[in-house]
Amino acid sequence: MSARLDWTSGAGRALQGSLRVPGDKSVSHRSLMLAALAEGRSHVRGFLEGEDTRATAAVLKQLGARIEAPADGERVIDGVGLHGLRGTDARLDCGNAGTGMRLLAGLLAGQAFDSVLVGDESLSRRPMRRVTDPLSRMGAQIDTQDGLPPLRIHGGSPLQGISYTLPVASAQVKSALLLAGLYAEGTTEVIEPHPTRDYTERMLAAFGWPIDFEPGRARLSGGHRLTATDVDVPADFSSAAFFLVAASVVPGSELHLQSVGLNPRRTGLLQALRLMGADIRIENERQSGGEPVGDIVVRHAALHGTEIPEVLVPDMIDEFPALFIAAAAASGSTVIRGAAELRVKESDRLATMAAGLRVLGIEVDETPDGGTIHGGRLVGGTVDSHGDHRIAMSFAIAGLLAETPVTITDCSNVATSFPGFIELANGCGFGLREA
Ligand code: S3P
């Protein structure tokens, strides 16, 4: 685990430049898992060199997959085939990554061997029954610690396909069930209350597994094989989000963000910011590796508060910390509802953002599933990120606007999803340094 690290973010200049943020975290995790289970050699380009995705690579290596890193952002994976992984007595450490742990739980439920998944302090507090309950219904045997990690997965249990309607919109749970479904007898079907990111479905199809899916529903049967394929990982919209908000709120800014993944299940923040008056254009929209990708041009605009449509919530679930900052800088009030899931992310993001913004002089009325942020003048102060990468990067934006610097504590986990954030941010005009 990284050492504890604090940041100070002060007034920078108008943000200018053209940048490419690191690779998509969701796609990077999945590319490793499917390539490891495939037959043949897969090349992954644009791989996120983050602690989360590296933890997944390390786990798969412990299980016998061969994964080489010929260059930064590249992985070459020699798959072992669907039944080629082997067990280890060592605990499998997913670090900070909910995606790693939940997807691996599905993948490991169908193996012949036992395994134990562990995580860091934050991951050890995150709910796992959402995956272990439906996996148990498929026949898996998984022990938790009162619903929390570690997950002790007993191998050798035959799995049976089920049809499962998710109680909460969660791509992680959907993906865990689909991965278990590769090993199950019969058909596994997942129905969602609201469509979520469909990378697992798209990538299974790309690796040659027959799968039937549409927004809100996915269905596959066991008994096929995965064939190695190359994966081009787009830049992560969730990492681009900090720059979309920062350029929107800092006068005189114009940023060009290159080759950003624009899967519609990820881009709710674009719509929310546009509702608030943001000036954001997509250029050069194209397909890359079966995913929509484009360059985003964002310019400063006077933002105003709005009611965030609840239907957008799953499509911007990771972007709320950044949205809180946009709302703080906007005129008027911004209302968020239907976002209770934010309480079980890397931190309780509703509470952490509300507390931090209050320190900076912004009034926030918190509710169980959202809140109202009253835009206003930001003052400096010290805010606690609670070790949550997205909270830390969001408050770095607040520092650009505040009258005096903003100190953000516990920022080391930024490396889980956005290595090099400080350098990239300062390169375009942030005034960010280690405190
Ligand atoms: C992810 C799904 C989302 C998201 C997370 C990545 C994924 O989590 O918040 O950062 O890659 O499937 P939930 O499934 O818990 O909503």
pLDDT value for 19? 98
pLDDT in tens, 399-409: 999 999 999 99
Q: Which residue has the tokens 């968020």?
A: 336
Backbone angles phi, psi at 141, to 5 degrees: -120, 110
Residue 285 has pLDDT above 80, yes or no: yes
pLDDT value for 179? 98
What would be the CATH architecture of the domain defined by 25-232? Alpha-beta prism (3.65)
- The CA–CA distances, whole Å, from 176 to 132, 173, 236, 239, 319 equal 9, 5, 21, 24, 23
Q: Which of 125, 126, 170 to mutate to test the pocket of ligand 1 (most atoms within 8 A of CB)?
A: 170
pLDDT in tens, 361-380: 999 999 999 999 999 999 99
Known active-site residue 143:
no
Any atom of ligand 1 within 6 Å of the Cβ of 416:
no
- List the chain domain ranges: 7-23+234-434, 25-232
* pLDDT, the chain, mean: 97
Average pLDDT of the residues in 335-363: 98
- Where does the pLDDT of residue 81 fall: very low under 50, low under 70, confident under 90, or very high at 90 and above? very high
pLDDT value for 1? 46
pLDDT in tens, 146-158: 999 999 999 999 9
The protein residue whose alpha carbon is closest to atom 16 in ligand 1 is 170
Task: Return the SS3 of 149.
Answer: strand
Which residues lie closer than 8 Å to 154 by C-beta, 6 or more apart? 114, 141, 142, 143
Any atom of ligand 1 within 6 Å of the Cβ of 171:
yes
Can you give the pTM of this predicted structure?
0.98
Average pLDDT of the residues in 39-61: 98
DSSP summary character for residue 382:
E
Q: Which of 101, 172, 318 to mutate to test the pocket of ligand 1 (most atoms within 8 A of CB)?
A: 172
Secondary structure (DSSP) of 302-358: --B--BPPGGGGGGGTT-HHHHHHHHHHSBSEEEE-S-GGGGGSSS-HHHHHHHHHH
pLDDT value for 3? 66
Any atom of ligand 1 within 6 Å of the Cβ of 318:
yes
pLDDT in tens, 161-206: 999 999 999 999 999 999 999 999 999 999 999 999 999 999 999 9
Q: In the chain, how long is the greatest CA-to-CA distance?
A: 61
Rg of the chain taking only CA atoms, in angstroms? 21
Contact 298, 278 (CB under 8 A): yes
Spatial separation of the C-alpha atoms in residues 31 and 42, rounded to whole Å: 9
Angle of CA points 286, 38, 20, to nearest 5°: 30
| Ligand 1 atom closest to Cα of residue 318 | 9
Ligand 1: centre distance to CA 205 (Å): 20
Spatial separation of the C-alpha atoms in residues 58 and 283, rounded to whole Å: 37
Instruction: Give which of 197, 179, 407 is closest to 292, Cα–Cα.
Output: 197
Residue 30 has pLDDT above 60, yes or no: yes
| Ligand 1 atom closest to Cα of residue 314 | 16
pLDDT in tens, 198-250: 999 999 999 999 999 999 999 999 999 999 999 999 999 999 999 999 999 99
Whether 25-232 and 7-23+234-434 are alike in CATH topology: the answer is yes
Which residues lie closer than 8 Å to 278 by C-beta, 6 or more apart? 244, 248, 298, 301, 303, 326
Q: Given 24, 236, 318, 410, which residue is catalytic?
A: 318
pLDDT in tens, 91-125: 999 999 999 999 999 999 999 999 999 999 999 99
Q: Class of 7-23+234-434 per CATH?
A: alpha beta
- Where does the pLDDT of residue 288 fall: very low under 50, low under 70, confident under 90, or very high at 90 and above? confident
